[in-house]
Every structure is written in C-alpha cells, then in structure tokens.
Structure 1
Amino acid sequence: MTSLDMTREALARAERESAMKSRILATVSHDIRTPLSGIAGMSHLLGQTRLTPEQANYLAGIGQSVQALSQLVDDLLDFSAIEAGRFKLHPRDDDLRQLIESVVEILAHRAHEKGIEIASWVAADVPGLLSFDPERLRQVLFNLVGNAVKFTNEGGVLVSASMVEGELEIRVRDTGPGMSVRGQERLFREFEQVGEEKSRIGGTGLGLAISRRIVLEAGGSIAVESELGVGSTFVVRVPVGQPSDFRLRQARATMLSSTHMLIIAPDGVCREALAAAVTSLGGTVRLAATPADLLASLEHAADAFTDIVVDRRLADFLSEELCKHPVFRNPATRRILLIDPETRSTTRFLGAGYDSWLVRPLRERSLVGVLQGRMKGIELRDPINDNRSNSRWTQAEGSGLDVLLAEDDPVNRLLLKTVLKKGGHRVSEVETLRDLIAAATQATGRPGAIVTDLSMPGGNGLDALSAIRDFERTNRLAEVPIIVVTGSAGSETRKAAIDAGATELFVKPADPAKLAELLASYAARRAG
C-alpha cells in the first residue's frame, strides 16, 4: 500500500468516525430531550397550581436545572456540527433592538436575584432591520450576557450596540472580577473555563468557544477587554446587510430632540443606559443621585425639564423634595417612575405625584412611547421563572379543537394532553405512527389539528407527515395544522419536517404556553 493510499484510508476512517460521533451525539440528544421535556412540562403545570413560597423556590430551582441541561445538549450538538463541518448560518432581515432587549429581559430576573443591575441600549445609527442569523446571534448573546451575570456580584451588566466602520458592534460590559492576561488567552478554547473554581460549576467550557465559531462563520470577530478587579467587556463585530434607510436613521437621531430630561437614579448601568438611549435619540439629559445633585441640577438647568425620571430606589428619599420644589409641580413636566419587574406597588406611587412609569430593563419603544405622550406606562413584566397562575391559555373545556395527539412517551403524552385540555381542546391519543396515519386519513371525523412526535414506533415520522398531506391533496381536503414536537434540534430536522408537511415545529422541551397559544390561534381562525 502506497503512502497516498494510506493517507486516503486514514482520511476515510476519520470521516467515518466523525460521522459516527455525530450520530451518537444526535441520538443521545434526542433520548435526553424526551425525559427533559417531561420534567420541564410537568414543572410548568405544577407552577399553575397554588404553591407556598418555599415550593415556588424549589420549582424555580428545577427550572434553572432544566435550562442548564437544555443548554448543555445544544452546546454538544453545535460542537459536533462544527467539528463535522456541517455548521451553517441562515441570515434574514430581523430587528436587532428587539433581539437584544428580549435577551436582557429574560436574564433580568437572574440579575435582580443577585442584587445587580442589567440594561441595554442601541444607538440611533443602527438600522431598524439588519440581515443576520437571529437564532445564532441570540445564542451568542445568551452566552456572553449570561456569563456576565453569573460572574458579577456587584454593580451590573450593560449591553450596547452601534455601527462602527460599517459593521455592527455589540459590547457586553460587566463589573465582575475581571481576568488575567493568561485567562483571556484560554477563554475561547473548547472545554476551558476561567475564574474561581466555585464559579465554574454547571458549565462545560463550550459556550464561548461555540460563540466564537458562530461569529467567525459570520465573517466577524469576538474579543475581550478585561482587568482584574475591575471587570470585563466582550466586543463582537460582525458585518451585516442593511437596507438603505438613511432617512429613517436621520429621523431616529432627532426623535427625542424636544426632550430635556432629569434622571434621578443611583449611579449604575440602568441610569447609564437610559441616558445613552435618550441622548442617542437627540434628547438632553442631566443626572442626579443625591439631594445635592438634584438641587445643583435644578439651579443650573437652562430650560425647564420636559421629563423627570425617578428610580423607585430613590423615590421614598425624594418624596419631600417632590413636594417642595416648584419644578415638580409644573403641569408641563412629566413625572415618570422607573420600577423593576418585581415591583407590584405601582398604584401607590402613581398616586404620589407620578404621571406614568417605565419598567427596567427598558424597551426603547416603551421609552419613546411614554416620552412622546402616546402611553402612560407599560404592563409589569413577569420574570422568566414567575410561578404565578397563568390563565392566558386556560379555556373552558371542550371549547376548542378536536386534537389528535401522537406521542409514545407516557410522561410527555400526559403533559401534552393536560396542556391541550387546559386550552379547551378535545384530545384523542395514538402511540404509533401507523395509528397516526390511520386516524388522520379518515374521510369523516378528521381532527382539527395534529400534535405529533417524529420518533415513534410503526414507521418513519417524515413519511407519516407526507402520507397525511398526500391523502389531503388526493381527496382535495383542507390541510390540517400539524405541529411537530421533537427532540431533534438541528436545522436539517426542521427543514425536513416542514418539507414533509409540518405546519410548525417545537424542540423539546417545548414551552406549553406557546404551544397552547398557537393552537388557540388555529381555533380562533376556524371559528372566524
């Protein structure tokens, strides 16, 4: 055997081993996701019942563990795809502001539990729509912002975005312990973790490595600036396609040009983000954190303030000042209370001299809406682990659709059946793909919707979907919505399922509320 033949054989063997490793990981991922979906779903249902505070805390702990395990499975699959050279991005036009705000909001509860602040702002020069892969950019931000919250015990985390030299630049800054130069060099390596041992528990060291590969795949760069004892800043730069909305961006830069704001808030990232957002949109800002700061601001203000924003943490201490100083009694000045999602006592404050309110971390759209007088405030946003009863998707029994449920795992079948019945739907169950096809291809008594797993006994899930759609086309019947709930998270699975006839796909563990809301929309459409 020649050296060339040996090289070819070694290469072929390496490719076979890589493919086998990918198949093993995909199989393990599916087998983990099925019981994980049961744990997550049952925890969600338990959260709809009346719980003591102690029980709610235990349930929140289960939810955090489920989230960590789901992230671990995703990281391992992504790592496998990257190693096998099958990792691809799927860019599309999307709203960067909304994406950043959603990530920060989801992580806000975790930050507030630690007693730290979290905030974000996006500069006016960032277009309303950009072309990027939103799922992958969200993954990168969850890793960066999640790590920042995890390692920060005092101060806060600030996420900002702007256009720099035609590229999108996102900065994630924290006031955590910082890193040594040696730690920074190891930071983006696979299975490496930096920091104190107690802070490493619960991670694989894959998150930042995968984030780096995602950014590189997009043609960008990711770097860290850090100083021990001061904190760290992660800087992500990516080229993005952007529409020619120069006029819109010009309008954004002057959107709040008539705003002259006084912010009374503690020094921190929330105050910094609010000031940066107003300034970026054309407004002017003065800051105050103490009575002395406040008096100085009032004395040196050249014009009357259009808006005074008071952070709830300083509201009690400033109540006398609010009553005494004439500027606060000026009917032309809007008085705004800034609260956090965990604050439930807004009515008491609104009765104490405030006209409207805002919730931190701020959404830019809500900020502009309040400052332009279009809205009084926004609803209190529940934190991600809020266990209070959620009646949005609980409807009268029998008021919805006839749903055919196909699931062979008994725990997930019970979970989905319970969710569907709470949504008012009537449920019939099958446990094999053969029975699914038989039940879905009847000329009469067909279901109003189908909820099915892809991996069940009795055939191939994709073939089952195709058989149902072929029956409908042959008999000229309207398509029944088919919702696939699967443990396979890859984009290939999603594309194959949609091509075979799926209407929507949820990856286990599926969010019961989102599933119920989707079915409710189908029911409303049918009723209309």
Structure 2
Amino acid sequence: MNGHATDSLLAWLRQSGEHSHAKALSALMEDHAALTLTKNAAEAANEAKTRFLASVSHEIRSPLNAIYGYAQLLERGDGTNAVESAKVIRRSAEHLSNLVEGLLDIAQVESGSLRLARDTIRLPAFLEQLIDMFQPQAAMKGLALRLEAPASLPEFVRTDPKRLRQVLINLLANAIKFTDRGEVTLIVHYRNELATFEVVDSGVGIAPADIARILLPFERGGSASADRAGIGLGLAITQALVHIMGGDLRVESKPCEGSRFIVRLMLSQPLSPPTDMPDAKPTRLYLGRERRVLLIDDDPAHREALRGLLEPRGFRVLSAEGGEQGLAIAGEAQPDLVLLDVSMPGISGWEVAKLLRARHGPRLRIVMLSGEAAQSGPVDDAPPAHDMFVAKPFDFNVLLDVISTQLGLEWPQTQPRDGAGAAPPGANLPPLLAAEARPHLAEIVRLVRIGHVRAIESRIDAIAALGGQAATLAESMRVHLDRFDLKSLAALARTEDPDDR
C-alpha cells in the first residue's frame, strides 16, 4: 500500500466516523514499520556475523597450517632450520592467542565481567616500548614511526597497563596496516591528569559513512581489502575498553587523507613516586635452598614444557597427570609450590586446590594454570584456595615472575652494583676512550631515572661507535637494555664513568 492510498483510506475512515478503525490501522502500520526495522537490523547483524565467521576461519586456519606444516618438517628432520621453524611456530601461536583473547574480551565486555587493574607504570618507558615494538613492522613497509611526547610528561601514572597497552597496540597496528606510505605518529599530551593519545597516519582514510560502522563488532571499513585482512574486532574492543576505563574515543578521517584516532583517559599520578619498581629478573639460578615445584596437569606436553622452563633454573620439578596422583605426591614430597590445571579427568583442579590448602595450609603456594576463565571457579563466599590464577597461554617470563613472587625468590644481580666484586666486561677503559665515553655514560644514568629507553639505546650506539673496549662495553649494556634491567644498566654506567669510581 503506497502513501497516497493510505492517506486516502485514513481520510475516508475519519469522514465515515470510524476513528477507532483509523487508530487501529495507524497502530498496525507503526508496528509493521518497527518490525521491518528490526528485521533489517537482524539481517544486517547476521550478515556481519557470517562475514566474521568466514574471517575467523581464515585467521585460525592460516596459523594452524603453519604450525602443523613446520612441526611435521621438524619431526621428519628434513633439513629445516630448527630456530627459524620455532620462530614461525611461536609467531603463529601468538596470532592464535591474540585471536582467542579478542573473542574473550568481547564476551567479557558484553557480559559486564571485565575487571580493571590499578597499577603504577613508568609512562615514558611504556610509550617507548610500544614504539619499539612496532618499529620493525613499520620499517618493512617503509613507514616512519614517531612518538611525540612533551618532556613534562609524568614519569609515573596509575592505570591498567594491560588494557592501555591493548588500546594503543590496536590503534597503532591498524594505522600501520592501512598506511602504505608516509608516517604513523603517536602524539601524547598530559594536563591535569587527563592524558590524550592521538594515533595519526597518512593512510587510505575512512569514508564518512564507515566511521561509525568500523567501531562495531564484526565490521570493517570499505577500505579493508583482501590484503588488509582482519576479523573486525580490534576497534570494537578498543572502543569498549576506552569506555570501561572512563574515557572516550573519537575518529577524524577523510578518504585518501589519513586518519586520526583520539583517546582521552584520566591517568592519575601516585601521591609519591614508587621507591622500587619491579625490574626484569635474570633467568639464572635463584639464591638459597632448592625449591620443589609440583606440576598437576593431564597434558604431558604441557608438563614437559614447564619442566624444560623450570629445571634449568634450579627448581626440582615433580609432576602428576591427575588430581589424586598430585595429592599423593604432595603428601610425600612436601612441595613449595603447585602449578595446577583446572580441567582434568576425575577430580577438578578447584577441588584439588581446596584439598591441598586444607592439608598443607598457607605454607604451600598454589597457582592455577588454565585455559578457562578465572571466574569459572566455585561460586561461594569462601576465600579462594589458590594464591594466583594464570591464564593459558602464558609468557614464560610472566610465569617466572609469578613463581618468584609467590616463593619470595632472590635472583643474583647480572652485574655487581656500584662496582663491587669482579670488574664487568669493558671495565678500565683507556683514558682517551673513557674521556669520550664519559658524557654518554652520565646521560645514560640520567635517562634510566626517567625510563627513556630509545634515548638510552642511542647513547649506547654512540659508545659502540668509539670502537675497541668501548664497543665491548656497549654490547654488555645492550644485554641489560634488552632485558629491561635498567637498574643494572645504570650501575654499569656508573662503574665505567671515571668520575664515579
């Protein structure tokens, strides 16, 4: 029925005194229009999810194929470079892990169960690490990647570092992906505890009609061609995280003129600077008596991977393939810490944790390792039986940090502090080299205090350029920098500076 005919019918009904029929017909038409809108929205959502499932299938199959193929080559021993194969397998596994994390984040956001941490971070160092992370990717495309931040940027702020990192990584990765020439810049401003992060690129830009749509789950802009594959989750997750963190995200873009993504967040400064921020732990033997670690997991490959991580670092590793066996071994061996899977045949990890806590008390540290969410545990008012939860897959360094914290381990310093003990590599520089290196060494000590990693790297390069023993010293410094062991790096710089001896 067209509009003219409808108006005529309504007019006739009114003239005929049938007002009730006119109202009924009008209500029916409004209901029909609402149903049409709902139907169109549902169809659009289904089409988006269909595209999403196709993208997810591709995103999963490609890295799985790489893992499967290289694993077979290694198994056959067909002359494949083992190190390069391992790198491909690791990168593919990281891709799958990121995909799963993205899907879980969307689920947590939609269910309202996403929780934020409140930690203190070194903001300048945090930003430098992000830029360093993407430099190789930008260089491969011939792009300049720059960080613009004022010298007045506070050294310490409080935030959820994981979620802030996730937001900025998503925006930087997207900018590099959709920029073929020119540059990508991260611009940071901070005033009155309001931090503004702008990711600016000279890429393909976004059509006005696409700007709102690309922030929706499962959607990609019209410029997302096959060579810029993605599953359409990154920006949706980014917007959701920014909103949960109490901020806002704005997009400014024009086709062929690049894009600007602007994130504003309140990042408060701690009342007093932390006296001792955590340093990267060297992964050598810990100090003190031998610690016993019990692995309870039904996956033998997982147990062997953990054994390969822990035994070379001085731990005595015991293992069990199930809860009952693990409880028996714990009763005999009296371990210091248990790494416990959740989902196992028979008795679950949660029940094993309760029994371990009841039998061994708080002396035994219990860390849950599982692919399930931490919220999947028993829902009751009782305090949890475990001390910490680590989600699979996890980074080995993160797990080592957790174990060190739970057991209160001390690791030997990679370098003696303040020049104590044996002289470090490159010590006792010749007078001429020492004089030339002195300003760089003093500047490194200053830069360590503010966490300016890229500037430290430049100073180390300047020392290396002096040649001879200075180059050896620079290599030693790079080892500390790569581990982000800035405290030992500063100690080494002070030891080598003749004015500090």
Sort the TM-score into its range (normalised by shorter chain): 0.5 to 0.7
Per the alignment, residue 432 of structure 1 pairs with: 322
2:158 to 99, 120, 131: 131
In the alignment, does 2:186 pair up with 1:159?
A: yes
Per the alignment, residue 394 of structure 2 pairs with: 510
User: Is this contact kept in 2: 1:400–1:423, CA < 8 A?
Assistant: no
Range with greater deviation from structure 2 (411-420 or 113-122): 113-122
Structure 2 length normalisation: TM-score? 0.57
Encode CA deviations 1:253-304: one digit per residue, 9 max, x unaligned: xxxxxxxxxxxxxxxxxxxxxxxxxxxxxxxxxxxxxxxxxxxxxxxxxxxx
Encode CA deviations 1:31-72: one digit per residue, 9 max, x unaligned: x9xx99xx79x99xx9xxxx9996655443333322221122
Distance 2:105 2:411 in 1: 39
Distance 1:119 1:482 in 2: 44
1:488 to 355, 363, 372: 372
User: Is this contact kept in 1: 2:300–2:321, CA < 8 A?
Assistant: no
Partner of 2:318, secondary structure, is: strand
Shift in CA distance, 479/109, structure 1 to aligned 2, threshold 3 Å: farther
Q: CA deviation at 1:98?
A: 3.2
User: Is this contact kept in 2: 1:393–1:517, CA < 8 A?
Assistant: no
Instruction: Could you tell me which runs of 5 or more consecutive residues in structure 2 were left unpaired when the two chains were aligned.
Output: 1-59, 274-280, 414-501
User: Is this contact kept in 2: 1:190–1:206, CA < 8 A?
Assistant: yes
Aligned residues: 333
Per the alignment, residue 121 of structure 2 pairs with: 94
In the alignment, does 2:211 pair up with 1:211?
A: no
Alignment of 1:42-61 (within 5 A): 56-61=83-88
Per the alignment, residue 484 of structure 2 pairs with: none
Query: What letter is aligned with 1:173?
Result: V
Shift in CA distance, 73/463, structure 1 to aligned 2, threshold 3 Å: same
Per the alignment, residue 448 of structure 1 pairs with: 336
Per the alignment, residue 215 of structure 2 pairs with: 188
Encode CA deviations 1:128-165: one digit per residue, 9 max, x unaligned: 33333222212111211121222233333222221257
Instruction: Could you tell me which runs of 5 or more consecutive residues in structure 1 were left unpaired when the two chains were aligned.
Output: 1-31, 249-390
Encode CA deviations 1:288-322: one digit per residue, 9 max, x unaligned: xxxxxxxxxxxxxxxxxxxxxxxxxxxxxxxxxxx
In the alignment, does 2:406 pair up with 1:406?
A: no
Range with greater deviation from structure 2 (508-517 or 401-410): 508-517
User: Is this contact kept in 1: 2:177–2:228, CA < 8 A?
Assistant: no
Shift in CA distance, 231/526, structure 1 to aligned 2, threshold 3 Å: closer
Alignment of 1:350-361 (within 5 A): none
Query: What letter is aligned with 1:418?
Result: G
Range with greater deviation from structure 2 (213-222 or 448-457): 448-457
Q: CA deviation at 1:213?
A: 1.2
Q: CA deviation at 1:204?
A: 1.6
Q: CA deviation at 1:503?
A: 4.0
Partner of 2:146, secondary structure, is: strand
Alignment of 1:343-382 (within 5 A): none
In the alignment, does 2:148 pair up with 1:148?
A: no
Shift in CA distance, 56/229, structure 1 to aligned 2, threshold 3 Å: farther
Distance 2:240 2:264 in 1: 13
User: Is this contact kept in 1: 2:117–2:159, CA < 8 A?
Assistant: yes
2:135 to 104, 108, 123: 108
**Structure with more of its chain in strand, by fraction:** 1
Partner of 2:96, secondary structure, is: helix
Shift in CA distance, 130/393, structure 1 to aligned 2, threshold 3 Å: closer
Partner of 1:86, secondary structure, is: coil
Distance 2:378 2:226 in 1: 38
Range with greater deviation from structure 2 (75-84 or 117-126): 117-126
2:256 to 203, 223, 229: 229
Distance 1:434 1:207 in 2: 42
Partner of 2:94, secondary structure, is: helix
Range with greater deviation from structure 2 (120-129 or 79-88): 120-129
Greater Rg over alpha carbons, structure: 2
Q: CA deviation at 1:526?
A: 10
Alignment of 1:160-179 (within 5 A): 160-164=187-191, 167-179=194-206
Distance 1:468 1:123 in 2: 52
Per the alignment, residue 354 of structure 2 pairs with: 466
In the alignment, does 2:266 pair up with 1:239?
A: yes
Query: What letter is aligned with 2:168?
Result: L
User: Is this contact kept in 2: 1:462–1:500, CA < 8 A?
Assistant: no
Per the alignment, residue 197 of structure 1 pairs with: 225
User: Is this contact kept in 1: 2:285–2:411, CA < 8 A?
Assistant: no
Distance 1:129 1:118 in 2: 24
Distance 1:109 1:526 in 2: 32
Shift in CA distance, 88/423, structure 1 to aligned 2, threshold 3 Å: closer
**Structure with more of its chain in helix, by fraction:** 2
Partner of 2:198, secondary structure, is: strand
Query: What letter is aligned with 1:235?
Result: I
Distance 2:228 2:376 in 1: 33
Alignment of 1:18-37 (within 5 A): none
Query: What letter is aligned with 1:482?
Result: I
User: Is this contact kept in 2: 1:91–1:132, CA < 8 A?
Assistant: yes
Q: RMSD value over aligned CA atoms?
A: 4.0
Encode CA deviations 1:180-234: one digit per residue, 9 max, x unaligned: 2223232201101122322442x22111111111112223211122233332221
Partner of 2:246, secondary structure, is: coil
Shift in CA distance, 240/407, structure 1 to aligned 2, threshold 3 Å: same
Per the alignment, residue 7 of structure 2 pairs with: none
User: Is this contact kept in 2: 1:494–1:505, CA < 8 A?
Assistant: no
Fraction of identical pairs, as percent = 30
Shift in CA distance, 136/440, structure 1 to aligned 2, threshold 3 Å: same
Query: What letter is aligned with 2:345?
Result: P
Partner of 1:219, secondary structure, is: coil
User: Is this contact kept in 1: 2:350–2:377, CA < 8 A?
Assistant: no
User: Is this contact kept in 2: 1:127–1:243, CA < 8 A?
Assistant: no
Per the alignment, residue 64 of structure 1 pairs with: 91
User: Is this contact kept in 2: 1:125–1:162, CA < 8 A?
Assistant: no
Distance 1:71 1:424 in 2: 31
Distance 1:509 1:67 in 2: 9
Shift in CA distance, 494/190, structure 1 to aligned 2, threshold 3 Å: farther
